[in-house]
Amino acid sequence: MSVKYTPVQWNTNKYIYDAVMLVGVALFLYVFLYAAPGILSHERPIDPQVHNARAFGACAFVMLTVILCIGPLARLDKRFLPLLYNRRHFGVMTVFVALTHASYILNWYFAFSSSDKFEALLFANTSYSQLAGFPFEVFGIFALLVLVILSATSHDFWMKFLTPPVWKRIHYLIYPAYLSVVAHVSLGILQDQQNHAFTVIFIGGAVAVGVLHLMAALHERRADAAISAETAEWIDICDVSEMSDGFAKIRLLPAGDRVAVYLNNGTLSAISNACAHQNGPLGEGRIIDCLVTCPWHGFQYDVTSGQSPAPFTEKVPTYNLRLEGTRVQVDPAANPPGTYVEPVPVPDHAAQEAPA
Amino acid sequence: MNEAEAILMGLRIWAMIGAAVAAVFLTIGMDRIDEDAQGAYVFRPLLIPGVMVIWPLVLWRWYVWETGREAWGRRYDPPRKAHFAVGMILPAGIALIILTGLALRQTWPADVAPVQLLPAQEVSQ
Amino acid sequence: MSDKNSPFFVGYLSAPRGLRTFLLVACVIFVSGLGGLGLALGVAQDDPGNGAFRFDYGRQTVTGVVEMTPYPLVRVTEGSERIAVGQTLMLSGQGKNSVISRTAPLEGQLAKVSGVILDRGDLEMMQLRGGRNGISGVEGEAPAMQTEQLGRWRLAGEICDGKCLAGAMRPGRGIAHKACANLCLLGDIPPVFVTTQPVEGHEFLLITGPDGTALPESAYHHVAQFISLEGEVERRGDLLVLRMDPDTVELIR
């Protein structure tokens, strides 16, 4: 929520989220850095710089893999939505872990020469014309640059300033970045590694990300097919008897936007399905204290006007609607954000006469 | 200047312009375009890295805000269809990359013995 | 879409009762999973080999004849308690820097060299101290050194940089280390070929280009790969030198 911007709008759940995330990350690093060396029975130990680089690199991969699983999991099963709530802190933490990995590598493999280490990183291996022995470092550099861009633009200010769709498009860069990380590992350490526990964990993580995204995409396509509407002057939404109080029906309109029609205390109102904050699906939320509440971050709107309650200033477009017999119908032309639309009362008999 | 130096120089120039844009935008620009930013200063340093990496976009968006050219409908049109493309491309890409990596993997050819092709011809001093 | 019975999480409100168990389980799986993965990945690391800086030997100072292959060697004529007469040491400077500028003027002459030893099996290298403390000419006639030609060979193995392999870095070979190895080789650190099976009793050979040239640029693309190649092999003291033929390099499938 806006009002005045602050660095982080803390609340109890964010503290819990960050604490659990940090405990997990700290445990991973602690075990890798301090417990594993005692178990390894090498004649001479791995250099601490390489051991550290591997710990942070592996940690960043695992973190990114978990982060990317949260999105499709939440689309497949709403119970995972709380994991989405403060995911940006998880992402920012991943950047710091990945930067630590990069700096250990840079200050070890690319140091000690007469050249600048950043230049050395770019020119030491130039086997770009072959896959085996390819300078896999460039994939890591690309992924790191993307992670830096995403974390640097994660504050709510950026969503409002860039608009959620533009912000979202920038943040789609996470997918090429993840592919790049997979390539970084596949053409790098996977080529050397003899212990197959590593291979299994790496492939398992990456495949989980791929499969979950495929499942979520297919799920969403089926859902979209079920809610998409034909072009018409008034778009038929549903029979009023199918609606339950405090909840919405979503329709995908011919122009590509989505409308959420809410039944609120026996009256019907229609607003855009896209939350002003991050374009979260308002129609998948519910009405709490007479306000539509977004399932992603809890932004709230008056269902009749699409306006956030004072002192908040967010607004979403509204839609005109009517009741034809027992059919709920919406005018597909949206009203400007914050336009009040008189709610349509549902007569008792309309709800009762309708087929079950 | 070699390619590596040129790339690093390019990055430095990008960041320097970004720093200049950040200086102007965070002190003057923000207050003009976003009422929620007025009187809020603590969060602004957090935005410096963001402006430095995407400053051309910042300038463009600033221009759009200032000139009021923005169509409100665009704010509520998330690229949800891209989820489907991602759902196809991501698993295919992951599978392709990993299979390539596994195919490239070499095994230490411990069974290949050294072969003397020609005997020694001379002893030099 | 949603229904009345499913719990609804709002970030700034306390988590609904119906979700608490689920979230608690998710947290436990997350934390224990990360700990478990840290352990599994941490102990999955391969043995980096037994190369090392031998600081435990202390500083070594020996006298010998300087040879350029073009990578600098010293054929020991007056050893120390650790280094015997007749041994051949590859020479490097600090970090990824060569000592060619210091050794070239002394080629074929007697010199005193001083520094720290790196070793891995029969691979030995000395990292010289700075300036004249590291290498200086010695009065006296340099004895004639034998170079025994061993003919043309086809070998299988891997090109590495001699210093990291010898123990400057653990691990000091492999694809993940390739850029680092290239950077050493660009700095004229002596390159080493690791063979799959011993050649005349040696697992490691100093590798150079043909006819006394440095490692050719084309070979850099094959660093850290498992390859086969042909070349002339010669014996200099206890060190074999492989003069590779760049046209014969083949990737082993």
In B, which residues are within 8 Å of A149 by CB distance? 50, 53-54
| Cβ within 8 Å, pair C150-B124 | no
| Cβ within 8 Å, pair A298-C14 | no
Show the tokens assigned to B12: 């430095």
Are β-strands C239-251 and C202-208 bridged in parallel, bridged antiparallel, or unpaired? parallel
Query: What is the distance between the alpha carbons of residues A286 and A263, in angstroms, rounded to a whole number?
Result: 10
| DSSP-based three-state secondary structure for A300 | strand
- Which distant-in-sequence residues (6+ apart) come within 8 Å of A23 by Cβ? C31
pLDDT band at residue B122, thresholds of 50, 70 and 90?
A: low
Residue A89 has pLDDT above 90, yes or no: yes
Assess C5–A contact: CB distance below 8 Å, yes or no. Answer: no
| Cβ within 8 Å, pair A179-B97 | yes
Show the tokens assigned to A131: 């896959």
In C, which residues are within 8 Å of A55 by CB distance? 38, 42
| DSSP-based three-state secondary structure for A132 | coil
The per-residue pLDDT for A3 is 73
Element (H, E) at B104: helix B82-104
| DSSP-based three-state secondary structure for B88 | helix
Query: What is the number of alpha carbons within 13 Å of residue B8 lying toward its C-beta?
Result: 13
The per-residue pLDDT for B125 is 44
Query: What is the number of alpha carbons within 13 Å of residue A54 lying toward its C-beta?
Result: 31
Query: What is the distance between the alpha carbons of residues C72 and C101, in angstroms, rounded to a whole number?
Result: 10
pLDDT digits (tens, 9 = 90+) for A212-242: 999 999 999 999 999 999 999 999 999 999 9
Give the residue-averaged pLDDT of B116-120: 92
Of B2, B40, B72, the CB nearest to A337: B72
Burial class (CB in 10 A: 0-12, 13-18, 19+), C211: exposed
Residue A352 has pLDDT above 60, yes or no: no
pLDDT digits (tens, 9 = 90+) for A134-177: 999 999 999 999 999 999 999 999 999 999 999 999 999 999 99
pLDDT digits (tens, 9 = 90+) for C91-106: 999 999 999 999 999 9
Phi/psi at C125 (5° precision): -140, 150
The per-residue pLDDT for A128 is 96
Number of B to C CB contacts under 8 A, please give it. Answer: 66
| DSSP-based three-state secondary structure for A251 | strand
- Find residues 30-49 of chain C whose CB sits inside 8 Å of chain A: 30-31, 33-35, 37-49
| Cβ within 8 Å, pair A4-B46 | no
Assess B108–C contact: CB distance below 8 Å, yes or no. Answer: yes
Residue A326 Cα distances to A236, A249, A342, C240, angstroms = 11, 15, 18, 94
Q: Which residue of C has its CA nearest to B103?
A: C253
Query: Residue A330's closest CA among A243, A262, A236, A246?
Result: A236
Query: What is the distance between the alpha carbons of residues C120 and C52, in angstroms, rounded to a whole number?
Result: 7
Assess C47–B contact: CB distance below 8 Å, yes or no. Answer: no
Query: What is the distance between the alpha carbons of residues A189 and A60, in angstroms, rounded to a whole number?
Result: 15
In C, which residues are within 8 Å of B125 by CB distance? 144-147
- Find residues 189-208 of chain C whose CB sits inside 8 Å of chain A: none
Rg (chain C; Cα; Å):
26
Query: What is the distance between the alpha carbons of residues A172 and B34, in angstroms, rounded to a whole number?
Result: 25
Query: Residue C65's closest CA among C143, C10, C164, C156?
Result: C143
Assess A225–C contact: CB distance below 8 Å, yes or no. Answer: no
From the CA of A213, how many Å to the nearest CA of chain B?
5
In C, which residues are within 8 Å of A29 by CB distance? 38
A187 neighbors A134 (Cβ within 8 angstroms): yes
How would you classify residue C121: left for phi > 0, otherwise alpha for psi between -120 and 50, otherwise beta? left
Residue C253 Cα distances to A253, B99, B116, C194, angstroms = 56, 16, 22, 17
| Cβ within 8 Å, pair C34-A36 | no
Query: What is the distance between the alpha carbons of residues C164 and C90, in angstroms, rounded to a whole number?
Result: 13
| Cβ within 8 Å, pair A276-B77 | no
| Cβ within 8 Å, pair A79-C45 | no
Query: What is the distance between the alpha carbons of residues A213 and A172, in angstroms, rounded to a whole number?
Result: 13
Tell me which of B3, B53, B75 to substitute to probe the interface with A (most A C-beta atoms closer than 10 Å).
B75
pLDDT digits (tens, 9 = 90+) for C148-204: 999 999 999 999 999 999 999 999 999 999 999 999 999 999 999 999 999 999 999
- Strands (DSSP E) contained in C41-190 are 52-53, 60-68, 72-78, 88-92, 110-120, 123-128, 135-137, 147-161
Predicted TM-score of the model (pTM): 0.95
The per-residue pLDDT for A351 is 61
Q: Residues of chain C whose pLDDT is less than 70?
A: 1-3
Instruction: Name the one residue in this structure whose structure tokens are 């492939």.
Output: A203
| Cβ within 8 Å, pair C97-A109 | no
Of B108, B112, B115, the CB nearest to C153: B115
Assess A115–C contact: CB distance below 8 Å, yes or no. Answer: yes
pLDDT digits (tens, 9 = 90+) for A188-204: 999 999 999 999 999 99
Assess B4–C contact: CB distance below 8 Å, yes or no. Answer: no
- Find residues 77-106 of chain B whose CB sits inside 8 Å of chain C: 106
DSSP secondary structure of A16-81 = HHHHHHHHHHHHHHHIIIIIHHHH---SSPPPHHHHHHHHHHHHHHHHHHHHHHHHHHHHH-GGGH
Residue A132 has pLDDT above 60, yes or no: yes
End-to-end CA distance of chain B: 44
Q: Which residue of B has its CA nearest to A165?
A: B78
Reported residue count of chain A is 356
Give the whole-number percent of chain C exceeding pLDDT 70.
Answer: 99
Mean pLDDT for chain A overall: 94
Q: Which residue of B has its CA nearest to A190?
A: B101
| Cβ within 8 Å, pair A256-B77 | yes
- Which distant-in-sequence residues (6+ apart) come within 8 Å of A193 by Cβ? A199, C44, C46
